[in-house]
Amino acid sequence: MEPRRARRAATNNRTRKVVAIVAAAAVAGVGASLSLAAWNDTEWLFSGAGTEPGISTSSFELEQLALPASGAAPGSTAWADYETNPGNGVTFTLSDLTPGDSTYALVAVRSSADSLGGTATLAAATAAAGVTVADAGGHLWNATDVRVSTWSGADLAATKACNAATFGNVANTTIATGDLGASGGTAAQTYAADSGNVNFYCFELTFTVPGVLPSGITTVDDYMGRSIAPAWKFDAASA
């Protein structure tokens, strides 16, 4: 064979060997890559069911119902909550007082449906917001005494009359007695969850002229034509 042709043949042989080696290496590389691969997957879960969240806050809410002081069935059983002063308007048995007169009002309070249980304490009376009264110097307010008696029952069937005899009934508890603006509840009432019980509050207001008339009041007649609008708040907390 001629020298030039022999050199070309040798070169071609070397080229084929290099290509074969590279090809083998490539195949080996692919094989190595496949041996290191893995299937990928992800899993998730959430607190809830369907589209509903599984974590939420509880609630605590009291609601009230004004009742006839006579103890008769109420004309309406629509419970509602009143969270700002002046709150729910209740009707007392007497609206025009003469010295020595007492007047009464009855209110039922319970927790609302889906509410936690808890306790509530009656605060001393304060002036009803947004209500115009005629009591210059606060003399009628200062001459008014308050008593509050309470009892509990499973539902409205436990309603009793609210009158002077209420405060002598050993089944009831008097939680407030004294000056209108200073006498709050001395004990808290317990509320079961989910409207589980009803607490009844009998309010008595008595107009008592003091033995010594205050400055600004010359005679008892100076109390005529005056008006007041006390409002009460329940300070409540969940159990």
| C-alpha span between 75 and 97 (Å, rounded) | 26
| Strand, coil or helix: 201 | strand
Q: How confident is the model at residue 3 (pLDDT cuts 50, 70, 90)?
A: low
Supply the pLDDT for residue 24. Answer: 46
Q: How confident is the model at residue 36 (pLDDT cuts 50, 70, 90)?
A: confident
> Is the pLDDT at 147 greater than 60, yes or no?
yes
More confident residue, 78 or 2: 78
Show me where the domains of the chain are located.
Answer: 62-238
| C-alpha span between 208 and 142 (Å, rounded) | 9
pLDDT in tens, 65-87: 999 999 999 999 999 999 999 99
Q: 5-14, 19-28, 52-61, 114-123: which has the minimum mean pLDDT? A: 19-28
> Is the pLDDT at 117 greater than 70, yes or no?
yes
Supply the pLDDT for residue 25. Answer: 46
Only one residue has tokens 């004990």, namely: 187
| C-alpha span between 23 and 19 (Å, rounded) | 6
| C-alpha span between 94 and 6 (Å, rounded) | 135
- Average pLDDT value for the chain: 90
Residues near 199 by beta carbon (within 8 Å), at least 6 away in sequence: 108, 109, 110, 120, 150, 151, 152, 189, 191
> Is the pLDDT at 112 greater than 80, yes or no?
yes
Supply the pLDDT for residue 139. Answer: 98
Percent of the chain scored above 70 by pLDDT?
85
Residue 215 CA, chain-centre distance (Å), reads 44
Supply the pLDDT for residue 13. Answer: 52
Q: How confident is the model at residue 144 (pLDDT cuts 50, 70, 90)?
A: very high
Supply the pLDDT for residue 12. Answer: 52
Model-level pTM?
A: 0.83
